[in-house]
Amino acid sequence: MTFTVLAVCTGNICRSPALEALLRHSLDGSVVVASAGTHAVVGSPVSPPMDDLLTASGVDASDFVARQLTAGIIREADLVLALTTAHRAWIVDREPAAVRRTLTLRELARLTSTVAPGTVVGASAAARLAALVPAALLERPRHAGRAHDDDVVDPYGRSERTYRESYDQILGALAPIVSAVRPGPGSAARTSAS
């Protein structure tokens, strides 16, 4: 079994390639990770300040090339992780059938943090991620009625400090998701404690 994750931001040169590279680095090969941009800087590499942050974390994105998001690319993904609520709206507007498999990264992290222990099981990261998504969606009522900041700040053209803030937001959101999906005893139990 494989499971395909698509990361989406605006230019596909800062946030979504960082998410793509970090997810690929963190999970086994059963999870296929890609990214695209709603207004991509097609053919460009990862923005140098973001690439520096990835390199410092031991993550190589040197072969990355930005691409434009299309409805076809959305349809191919089992899970679409938008970096902002505006990106999520853009995706669902172009491909309405993707509504139940499109979340912001930070929303999935928030929902994952309250998934019951023992819910996320499977023989591979792909199987565990396939179990996590519907379980996380069932957590939405528990989080309703409260204000949530589900956006990752756009660092493009801004200071190194803003790049660091954006990168840290991605890392922070990935932590409970990767913890839930990684193999090993207690990985599902850590989901509720994150």
pLDDT in tens, 60-117: 999 999 999 999 999 999 999 999 999 999 999 999 999 999 999 999 999 999 998 8
Mean pLDDT within 1-16: 97
pLDDT, residue 185, reads 53
Helix ranges (H only) for 36-186 are: 48-56, 71-76, 85-94, 105-112, 125-137, 140-143, 160-181
Sign of the four-CA dihedral 6, 44, 169, 57: positive
Q: What is the DSSP letter of 113?
A: T
Give the CA count within 13 Å in the CB-facing half-sphere of 120. Answer: 37
pLDDT at 191 over 70: no
Provide the whole-model pTM.
0.92
Residue reference for tokens 């700040």 = 153
Tokens of 189: 């139990």
Distance CA 108, CA 118 (A): 18
Closest-CA residue to 135 (of 150, 146, 122, 120): 120
Domain harbouring 167, CATH code = 3.40.50.2300
Residue with structure tokens 């409805």? 71
Quote the number of domains for the chain: 1
List pLDDT tens digits, range 114-127: 998 888 999 999 99
Residue 184: which pLDDT band, with cuts at 50, 70 and 90? Answer: low
Supply the range of the domain harboring residue 132.
3-193
How many Å apart are CA 15 and CA 12, to the nearest integer? 7
